Amino acid sequence: MGRLLRAFVATFLLIEIAGLVIGTSVWAILAEFHASNPVIIGAEGLAMIGVTVLGVVIFRRALAAETRIDTGEPSA
């Protein structure tokens, strides 16, 4: 398995869990405040933009780690 695929799998698994938790949290909090549906959907969209940015950061770090592993360079 290539380093890109290994980094993608690690990122996908982390972001999938983070996306579910953040999305559910945003929905639950706004539903408790009796927010209207457009407000909830807008907040969900903003939350998913944040999760996407987090995914890019995690992917870059995972790719750097996989590159270090492939070259045999010590990580610490």
Helix (H/G/I), strand (E/B), else coil: 48: helix
- What are the helix (H) ranges across 1-72? 3-32, 37-71
Cβ atoms 6, 27 nearer than 8 A: no
Q: Is 76 in contact with 24 (CB distance < 8 Å)?
A: no
Asked if the model's pLDDT at residue 76 lies above 90, the reply is no
Average pLDDT over residues 46-65: 96
> Smallest Cα–Cα separation from 54: which of 14, 25, 3, 26?
14
pTM of the model: 0.84
Instruction: Write the single-letter amino acid at 53.
Output: V
pLDDT in tens, 11-54: 999 999 999 999 999 999 999 999 999 999 999 999 999 999 99
